[in-house]
Amino acid sequence: MSTADGPSDKNIGCAIYLHIPFCVSKCHYCDFASYAGKSHLLEPYLNALLTEIGSASVQENTRRIGSVYMGGGTPSTISPETAEKIMSAVAKKFNPSASSEKTIEANPESVTPERLAGYIKAGFNRLSIGVQSFNDRNLKSLGRAHDSQRALEAFDMARKAGFKNISVDLIYGIPGQTLSEFAEDISKAVSLAPEHISAYQLTVEEETPLWDMVEKGTVIMPEDTLLLEMFEKTVTSLSKAGYRHYEVSNFAKPGMECKHNLSYWLGEEFLGFGNGAHSFINSSRFANPDEPEDYIYEVDTAGRAGAEILGDEKDRVLEFLLMRLRLVGKKLTFKELDEKFFPFGRHDKHGPRPLFDETYRHPLDWISKNGLAEVNSDGFTLTHKGLLFLDDILLEFEKV
Ligand code: SF4
């Protein structure tokens, strides 16, 4: 799956995403389309999800499926029987191969040995556990529903249930978290020997309790220098432990990169089902309504949900860069960009137009001058520094 030039984009295929919006409680920092206290919607939601999957068009269901990912929310709040119903509907409609990656996300508070064994029976071969931290104080300040002991037990249960491909999610930059506490999180994660580790920087999203706390000054977010140290710590510790840094926040044992997320980062097609899910198919983007009630209503009345997200070519270029530049050490060639965005060369029906490297010459010179990328005649590769300043790079491209 990986090469010296970064993860391979061969045979990734179309990705299927299934959204389960239910959570035990709402974490302080979360702005996902996830909800606590809506379990009464479980049945109508499941029915809507099955209807939406069943109504995929012929065009959509002839795609070769590279991966299936059930995320949320907290998918481990649903029973194995429910998970199996959803996976059967996916198998019937899309026929993913037995060997394709099929991930289910789980949170420590909602797993049991029986539940995990049931998910394997339902067809899942990869588990992503939302550990976030092994430090109880930090878990509490995130508003998580589990403690560190429960996280360790969940991992152990998953191995015993038979999951051979497990990813552990960590968060750094938690208010009050020290560098040594985070280093301890990394070493505890490594000691479990998961196949994959994600380490995300905590971001403050609008309309979350964390945002309010920061606004009121009751919580102070860490300084950039500490965040950089934490990022560096992640890269050096995990590299030393045999994990390859293949995306800004993701690390994998050789060959164990998350194929589903690679589809997004490589700009492949994906089909999303459930509230808040997005799809990208036939060069068009679609988004389902965020609220489960709206989603259920749309599917009940129209048989499917979602509206096309309209955007111009510039939006599409920026969206692609936002995802594709996250891949570590993988050169982005001008040929690839021209084929995607300038397929008619210098002349299309609107008349003459420059190719990518001419259109975006200014940001390309800027990232090169600032040591954020190595730019040469056939493409560019972000440097380590460039990965850290991805947002600034995108702002520069946005100015064009
Ligand atoms: S468990 Fe995940 S999806 Fe649910 S509220 Fe917490 S962060 Fe959000």
CATH number of the domain at 313-398, out of 1.10.10.10, 3.40.50.2300, 2.102.10.10, 1.10.10.920? 1.10.10.920
And the tokens for 378? 């056939």
CA dihedral sign, ordered 96, 267, 261, 35: negative
pLDDT for position 398: 94
Tokens 């102070």 found at: 220
Q: How far apart are the first and last CA of the chain?
A: 34
Q: Probe ligand 1: pick from 34, 35, 39, 107, max atoms within 8 Å of CB? A: 34
Please state, in angstroms and rounded to a whole number, the distance separating the CA atoms of residues 43 and 197: 33
Question: For ligand 1, atom 7, which residue shows the shortest CA distance?
Answer: 30
| Exposure string over 242-270, b if 16+ CB within 10 A, otherwise e | ebbbbbbbbbbbeebbbbbbbbbbbbbbb
At residue 355, the pLDDT reads 86
Question: What angle is formed at CA 52 by the lines to CA 50 and CA 57, rounded to 5 degrees?
Answer: 125
Domain ranges of the chain: 2-265, 313-398
* Least confident range of 25-39, 230-244, 341-355: 341-355
**Residue 261 phi/psi, 5° resolution?**
-65, -30
CA of 73 to the centre of ligand 1 (A): 5
Distances, alpha carbon 19 to alpha carbons 35, 163, 212, 276, in Å: 12, 21, 27, 8
Residue pair 33/21 in contact (Cβ under 8 Å)? The answer is yes
Measured by CA distance, the residue closest to atom 6 of ligand 1 is 27
> Would the pLDDT of 10 be above 70?
no
Residue 159 is encoded by which pair of tokens?
């191995």
Ligand 1: residues with CB < 6 A are: 23, 26-27, 30, 32, 34, 72-74, 107, 130
Q: If you take atom 5 of ligand 1, which residue's CA is the nearest one? A: 26
Q: What is the DSSP string of 162-230?
A: T-SSEEEEEEE--TT--HHHHHHHHHHHHHH--SEEEEEEP---TTSHHHHHHHHTSS-PPPHHHHHHH
Q: Share the mean pLDDT of the chain.
A: 93
CATH architecture of the domain with residue range 2-265: Alpha-Beta Barrel (3.20)
Query: Which burial class, exposed, middle or buried, applies to 313 when counting CB atoms under 10 A from its CB (0-12, 13-18, 19+)?
Result: exposed
**In the predicted structure, residue 345 carries a pLDDT above the cut 80:** no
Asked if domains 2-265 and 313-398 share a fold, the reply is no
CA distance 270 to 267: 9
* pLDDT tens, position by position, 257-286: 999 999 999 999 999 999 999 999 988 899
Q: Is the pLDDT of residue 11 over 70?
A: no
pTM above 0.75, yes or no: yes
Q: What is the pLDDT of residues 190-202, one digit of tens each?
A: 999 999 999 999 9
**Average pLDDT of the segment spanning 236-265:** 97
Expressed in angstroms and rounded, the spacing between residue 36 Cα and the centre of ligand 1 is 9
Q: How far is the CA of 141 from the centre of ligand 1 (A)?
A: 14
Q: Which of 23, 38, 203, 208 to mutate to test the pocket of ligand 1 (most atoms within 8 A of CB)?
A: 23
> What is the CA(31)–ligand 1 centre distance, in A?
8
User: Running DSSP on this structure, what letter comes out for residue 327?
Assistant: B
Q: Which residue has the tokens 């996916």?
A: 90
CA of 105 relative to ligand 1 center, distance in Å: 11
Q: Rounded to whole angstroms, how far apart are CA atoms 62 and 73?
A: 28
Under the banding of pLDDT at 50, 70 and 90, the label for residue 252 is very high
Which of ligand 1's atoms lies nearest the C-alpha of 73? 3
Distance 381 CA to ligand 1 centre (A): 33
- 76 CA → ligand 1 middle, Å: 12
307 CA to middle of ligand 1, Å? 25
Q: What's the CA-to-centroid distance between 170 and ligand 1, angstroms?
A: 13
* Closest C-alpha residue for ligand 1 atom 3: 73
Q: Whose CA is nearest to atom 2 of ligand 1?
A: 73
At CA 17, angle to CA 389 and CA 74, rounded to 5?
A: 85
For a pLDDT cut of 90, what percent of the chain falls above it? 83
pLDDT of 340 over the 90 cut: no
* pLDDT bucket at 310, cuts 50 / 70 / 90: confident
Give the nearest ligand 1 atom to 107 CA. Answer: 1
Atom of ligand 1 nearest to the CA of 25: 5
Q: How high is the pLDDT of residue 289?
A: 96
From the CA of 29, give the closest atom in ligand 1. 7
**Residue 297 is which amino acid?**
Y
Distance of CA 108 from the midpoint of ligand 1 (Å): 12
Q: HSE on the CB side for 327, CA within 13 Å?
A: 27
Give the number of the atom of ligand 1 that is nearest the alpha carbon of residue 144. 6
Cα 322 from Cα 343, distance rounded (Å): 20
Q: Distance (Å, rounded) from C-alpha 60 to C-alpha 355?
A: 31
